[in-house]
Amino acid sequence: PTILVTMNRIKEVLKEKGIKQIWLADKLDKSYNMVNGYVQNRNQPSIECLYEIAQILNISVKELLIENE
């Protein structure tokens, strides 16, 4: 089955952990605007980037995704 990611939980996870977007952008070596796009669900990170975000936030990739029924 194909997993279609239309939404992510990056915003919620950052809030839960008290982490700022600018910190995540720095860790990912991406611009604040790029990370803000992910957080606001205007853009979706690549699978590789999603794994990197999960690793940085010390959570599983599944915790970053909202599964579509």
Instruction: State the pLDDT at residue 66.
Output: 77
| pLDDT higher than threshold 70 for residue 69 | no
d(CA 60, CA 54): 6
pLDDT digits (tens, 9 = 90+) for 9-49: 999 999 999 999 999 999 999 999 999 999 999 999 999 99
